[in-house]
Amino acid sequence: MEAEVIKAELVLPTHMSFKRIQMYGKYPKGQSKVRWKQLKQILQAEICQNYSPDEPNYVNIESPPSMQPCKRICDITGFEAPYHDPRTNLRYANADVFKLVRSLPNEYVQRYLALRKAAVVLR
Amino acid sequence: MPFISKIQRQTDYNRFPPSTPIVIDNGASYFRIGWAGETEPRVIFRNIVQRPRHKSTGETVTIVGDHDPALLKYFDCTRSGPRSAFDSNVVFQFEIMEYVLDFAFDRLGANGSRIDHPILITECVCNPVHSRSKMAELLFETYGVRSVAFGVDAVFSYKYNQLHGICEKDGLAICPGFTTTHVIPFVDGEPVYKGCCRTNIGGYHITDYLKQLLSLKYPHHMARFTWEKVEDLKMEHCYIAPDYALEAQLFQKGGKEAEYKTRCWQLPWVPLPTDEPPSEAEIAQKAAIRERQGQRLREMAEAKRSSRINELENQLQGLEFLLQQLGQVQEEDIQSFLSETGYASKQEIELTLTKVTQSLRKAKGEPKPEQAENEEKADSCTSDKYPLINVPDNMLTPEQLKEKKRQIFLKITTEGRQRAKQKRVEEELERERKTQQDEERRLENPQLYLEQMHTKYKELYEKVEQRKRLKTNGGHTNGSSSGGVGRGERLNAAQRERMRLLTTAAFDRGKGEDTFGAKDEDWQLYKLMGKDNDDDDDGADEDEAELARVSSRLQEIDPTFVPKPEPTASQPATTEVPHVRPLTKEDFQIVLGVERFRCPEILFHPNLVGIDQMGLDEMTGVSIRRLPSKDKALANRLTSSVFMTGGCSLFPGINERLEAGIRMLQPCGSPIKVVRALDPVLDAWRGASLYAANSRFHQQTFSRSDYYEKGEDWLRQYQVRYTL
């Protein structure tokens, strides 16, 4: 370990005096790949508990979809976009932007669509 | 402003008695820890952990928070991205949480065998019981903490500001955070979680959106747009427009106001040393050098030519002398004489003689008709060299047969050559005639002729360009969602025809046996395919040749005609950097125009990024609706004290926008007042600190025994009472 790294105390020391069980004891190297429950699983477990629906829980308090009509803005420039390109599925504002849209390679098209979560996901 | 990092190790840990609570604000962006009763947290750092490997020793170390990037060069950081214990404001990775807590307690100066203080730690609204219990377990088991309390950070912030008179007892707390945004109504000083509303949009999404937009707009500078830099940009330059549509129109028109609002970031750039345009003297020098080189080449060519002429003349003389000698020599001695010289017969000598004279004439550069005459003469004198052709086969010996075959072959080739020459001459005459006709037409009606030429040119140009476009556009077509269509678009008509023929040939045979090729007609298939392909190419060439001729003609006769650029060169790919011109200063400028207000807009319209939930203004309406008591007076009281806290509330213009939004939703005339926290970032911790310093705080905590005896259900119901 280089001197300046030690001096800067960059690295977390492995032994802490105030801990009852140290990290290397809890998670021995190379053995326990602890699988933590992902948020989805946690929430599913909660739902299954059959609590009263009146009580607020994590899923309950989520906001519903928007009541306002969807705002359509151009994917590339950000202006208002009344038009939509059927081939690439992008929204565009005027003819100049359309030229740009048609000349984009597929990779960029998919990335623009991914901003809106409208990309084609192949998995 | 961004990335405050206070990680100095504190030395006064032992000054605090075991009853002093430690206050932790465990946020998705920052982790703040300090002592209860103080106004500033002692230790602040970003809530991320990296586990790189040390380059020389190879061990995996843990680094918590942001650190000096210069020091990180000793570590191999390729496989260790920064990781967070959070998944959208809920803690789920407790190993990382443990690293973070380790680091935090260490920097707070903790020593001794356990953390002997009560801990107040923040969590998200309606934290799932699994997360809560694991956190409690971590604190009790590993750190030996005696008592723990959980609270919501936004509520603490609200209470703190209520104390300072910023907001009322009843009000709405709006907290746009790092990963989520909450709206929590307060009635009588206590939060009503039933009316709470949460949207999964936060500062993280705004930064990510801005990062993606900039990367797509400036793909060459993508390496510059690191997360930290983009967050910097966001905090410095982004604002919320009072009305998105109007603002966008302003920028679209591109007037002075839009320019005033556009910010430009100049990346460091070193101009390439430009070559100065060569001066007059240099140009003249270069021309002189070229002239000299040309001269030298010409002289060399001349010398070669004259030496060759000399050679040929010598040869000619020698042959003539030989002939003379031959004439003088007597009949019997001819054979022996000839064998000495190396020629088989007199005719051969004469033949070589004529050849040499021809070459000489060519070398001297005499005009062609003479040569044509010569050729004809040569032909005629060789025509009597085919005496054997007309003699029928059965009268000849095998040697003579061979001779006859050779003569037939020679005759056919010479005749073919003659015919070709004749055709060429005829074509020349034809072309001459056509150009004369053209000229006549032009002279009699110049205007009409010109128009005709122009239209012809345009048509040809269109045809050629279209063909070129068809050929290359297959590669550029943007793939549509249906993959099958894409393949079809890429092939042009001829290729598709070929595919069709091949596939039908394969299928027509019937399953199980492949009898393609048994019959001869099957192979005609390839003839068809081959023809299709050739036609296409030939047609293209013809058209192009025609186009070239027409354009040159137009150039001659029409002074105003400007030929359109070559079809091959006029396909600019707009996404490529034109390598021809040198990179200028402008190429290294990042312009933030519309992005400045487009990115924070997603707080109000999450469907801009595809998240199908409500924005801030609508959430307030939903929150008020969800309250159990439908009281109009209460609603008025709530809207008259709308309190904004959280890191994202620092965008300029958010207050006015929110006010306008709420006004749209609420009945006309309701009092609306939007206020911002004194310090949206640190107020949560301050509120918690104040709360923990209260003497009655310890009644709100729960201890280890509580946790183990009362079970999960009790833990779920556990809520602190915020008004002490």
pLDDT > 80? residue B164: yes
What tokens does B368 get?
């062609």
- Shortest CA distance to B470 belongs to which of B496, B491, B499? B491
Beta strands per DSSP E along A1-123: 83-84, 91-92
Q: What is the largest CA-CA distance in chain B?
A: 150
Last residue of a domain, one of B655, B671, B687: B671
Task: Count the Cβ atoms, other than its own, within 10 Å of residue A8.
Answer: 13
Asked if B130 and A37 come within 8 Å (Cβ–Cβ), the reply is yes
Task: Count the Cβ atoms, other than its own, within 10 Å of residue B685.
Answer: 28
Q: How far is CA B701 from CA B124, B148, B705, in A?
A: 17, 5, 12
| B178 three-state secondary structure | coil
Q: Return residues 683-722 of B near A (CB < 8 Å).
A: 716
Q: Which residue has the higher pLDDT, A34 or B264?
A: B264
CB B84 within 8 A of CB A12: no
Q: How far apart are the C-alpha atoms of B260 and B542, rounded to whole Å?
A: 56
Residue B477: the pLDDT is 41
Residues 6+ positions from B309 with CB-CB distance below 8 Å: B360, B363, B364
Stretch B423-446: mean pLDDT, rounded?
86
Q: Return residues 62-91 of B near A (CB < 8 Å).
A: 62-64, 67-68, 71-72, 74, 87-88, 90
Work out the pLDDT band at B548, boundaries 50, 70, 90: confident
In percent, the amount of chain B with pLDDT more than 70 equals 81
Stretch B150-176: mean pLDDT, rounded?
90
Asked if B251 and A79 come within 8 Å (Cβ–Cβ), the reply is yes
Work out the pLDDT band at B500, boundaries 50, 70, 90: confident
In this structure, the answer to whether residues B215 and B124 fall within a common structural domain is no
Flag whether residue B614 sits within 8 Å of chain A, measured between CB atoms: yes
In this structure, the answer to whether residues B149 and B243 fall within a common structural domain is no
Q: How far apart are the C-alpha atoms of B298 and B217, rounded to whole Å?
A: 57
What tokens does B440 get?
């006549």
Work out the pLDDT band at B561, boundaries 50, 70, 90: low
Question: Chain A: nearest CA to B413, how far in angstroms?
Answer: 56
Work out the pLDDT band at B368, boundaries 50, 70, 90: very low
In this structure, the answer to whether residues B207 and B230 fall within a common structural domain is yes
Residue B1: the pLDDT is 42
In this structure, the answer to whether residues B110 and B156 fall within a common structural domain is yes
For residue A17, give the chain B residue with the closest CA.
B113
Question: Chain A: nearest CA to B631, how far in angstroms?
Answer: 19
Does B32 fall in a domain? yes
- Shortest CA distance to B690 belongs to which of B14, B214, B21? B21
Residue B334: the pLDDT is 67
- Shortest CA distance to A87 belongs to which of B450, B481, B146, B334? B481
Q: How far apart are the C-alpha atoms of B684 and B692, rounded to whole Å?
A: 12
Q: Return residues 497-526 of B near A (CB < 8 Å).
A: none
Question: Chain A: nearest CA to B509, how far in angstroms?
Answer: 36
Mean residue pLDDT across chain B: 80
Flag whether residue B153 sits within 8 Å of chain A, measured between CB atoms: no
Asked if A8 and B68 come within 8 Å (Cβ–Cβ), the reply is yes
Phi and psi at residue B119, to the nearest 5°: -120, 130
Q: Give the bridge partners for B174, in sequence order.
A: B183, B644
Stretch B637-665: mean pLDDT, rounded?
90
For residue B192, give the chain A residue with the closest CA.
A56
Question: Chain A: nearest CA to B250, how far in angstroms?
Answer: 9
Task: Please list every residue in chain A whose beta carbon sits closer than 8 Å to the beta carbon of residue B575.
Answer: 103-105, 108
Asked if B478 and A109 come within 8 Å (Cβ–Cβ), the reply is yes
Asked if A16 and B102 come within 8 Å (Cβ–Cβ), the reply is yes
**Which amino acid, one-letter code, is at B720?**
V
Number of domains in chain B: 2
Last residue of a domain, one of B671, B690, B707: B671
Task: Please list every residue in chain A whose beta carbon sits closer than 8 Å to the beta carbon of residue B197.
Answer: 61-63
CATH number, domain with residue B132:
3.30.420.40
Residue B353: the pLDDT is 81
Task: Please list every residue in chain B whose beta carbon sits closer than 8 Å to the beta carbon of residue A60.
Answer: 126
Residue B207: the pLDDT is 92
For B593, counting Cβ atoms within 10 Å of its Cβ (0-12 exposed, 13-18 middle, 19+ buried), the class is middle
| Cβ-nearest to A65 among B95, B575, B612 | B612
Q: How far is CA B524 from CA B516, B521, B538, in A?
A: 12, 5, 21
| B120 three-state secondary structure | strand
Residue B707: the pLDDT is 85
Task: Please list every residue in chain A whose beta carbon sits closer than 8 Å to the beta carbon of residue B609.
Answer: 115-117
Task: Please list every residue in chain A whose beta carbon sits closer than 8 Å to the beta carbon of residue B573.
Answer: 103
pLDDT > 80? residue B389: no
| B443 three-state secondary structure | helix
- Shortest CA distance to B172 belongs to which of B682, B665, B719, B694? B665
Task: Please list every residue in chain B whose beta carbon sits closer than 8 Å to the beta carbon of residue A70.
Answer: 607
Residue B577: the pLDDT is 44
Q: How far apart are the C-alpha atoms of B658 and B406, rounded to whole Å?
A: 103
Q: How far is CA B392 from CA B397, B411, B545, in A?
A: 11, 17, 50
Q: Which residue has the higher pLDDT, B621 or B549?
A: B621
Does B228 fall in a domain? yes
Q: Which residue has the higher pLDDT, B586 or B236?
A: B236
Work out the pLDDT band at B421, boundaries 50, 70, 90: very high
Asked if B142 and A112 come within 8 Å (Cβ–Cβ), the reply is no
CB B13 within 8 A of CB B111: yes
Q: pLDDT in tens for each of the 123 residues of chain A?
A: 677 777 777 788 888 888 888 877 777 776 556 778 888 888 888 888 777 777 888 888 888 998 888 888 898 888 888 898 898 888 998 898 899 889 888 888 888 888 888 887 776
| Cβ-nearest to B128 among A43, A67, A99 | A43
pLDDT digits (tens, 9 = 90+) for B171-218: 999 999 899 999 999 998 889 888 899 999 999 999 999 999 999 988
In this structure, the answer to whether residues B667 and B709 fall within a common structural domain is no
Q: Which residue has the higher pLDDT, B79 or B661?
A: B661
In this structure, the answer to whether residues B30 and B152 fall within a common structural domain is yes
Asked if B92 and A36 come within 8 Å (Cβ–Cβ), the reply is yes
Residue B512 has, within 13 A of its CA and on its CB side, a CA count of 0
pLDDT digits (tens, 9 = 90+) for B518-543: 777 777 777 766 665 544 555 567 77
Asked if A12 and B111 come within 8 Å (Cβ–Cβ), the reply is no
In this structure, the answer to whether residues B159 and B34 fall within a common structural domain is yes
In this structure, the answer to whether residues B137 and B30 fall within a common structural domain is yes
CATH number, domain with residue B214:
3.90.640.10
Does B142 fall in a domain? yes
Across the A:B interface, residue pairs with CB atoms under 8 Å apart total 206
Q: How far apart are the C-alpha atoms of B82 and B89, rounded to whole Å?
A: 16
Show the domain range for B89: 13-47+85-166+679-717
Q: How far apart are the C-alpha atoms of B521 and B321, rounded to whole Å?
A: 67
Last residue of a domain, one of B633, B649, B671: B671
Residue B13: the pLDDT is 85
Task: Please list every residue in chain B whose beta carbon sits closer than 8 Å to the beta carbon of residue A65.
Answer: 612-614
Task: Please list every residue in chain B whose beta carbon sits closer than 8 Å to the beta carbon of residue A31.
Answer: none
CB A103 within 8 A of CB A92: no
Does the reported pTM lie above 0.90?
A: no
Work out the pLDDT band at B487, boundaries 50, 70, 90: very low
In this structure, the answer to whether residues B147 and B209 fall within a common structural domain is no
Stretch B344-365: mean pLDDT, rounded?
79
What burial letters (b/e) apply to B78-100, b meaning 16+ CB within 10 Å? Answer: eebebebbbbebbbbbbbbbbbb
In this structure, the answer to whether residues B616 and B655 fall within a common structural domain is yes
Asked if A63 and B197 come within 8 Å (Cβ–Cβ), the reply is yes
Question: Chain A: nearest CA to B162, how far in angstroms?
Answer: 24
pLDDT > 80? residue B503: no
Best residue of A17, A19, A41 to probe chain B, by most B CBs closer than 10 Å: A19
pLDDT > 50? residue B572: no
Residue B385: the pLDDT is 56
Task: Please list every residue in chain A whose beta carbon sits closer than 8 Å to the beta carbon of residue B99.
Answer: 12, 23
In this structure, the answer to whether residues B710 and B666 fall within a common structural domain is no
pLDDT > 60? residue B71: yes
CB B603 within 8 A of CB B156: no
Work out the pLDDT band at B297, boundaries 50, 70, 90: very high
Residue B582: the pLDDT is 62
**Which amino acid, one-letter code, is at B405?**
K
Q: C-alpha angle B119/B122/B124, rounded to 5°?
A: 150
Lowest model confidence (mean pLDDT) among B78-87, B318-327, B541-550: B541-550
Q: Which residue has the tokens 């008004």?
A: B723
What are the helix and strand counts (H, E) for chain A?
A: 5, 2
Lowest model confidence (mean pLDDT) among B321-330, B376-385, B566-575: B566-575
| B23 three-state secondary structure | strand
Q: How far apart are the C-alpha atoms of B138 and B144, rounded to whole Å?
A: 9
Measured on CA atoms in the order B161, B165, B168, B172, is the torsion positive or negative? Answer: negative
| Cβ-nearest to A71 among B92, B124, B605 | B605
In this structure, the answer to whether residues B663 and B694 fall within a common structural domain is no
Residue B488: the pLDDT is 42
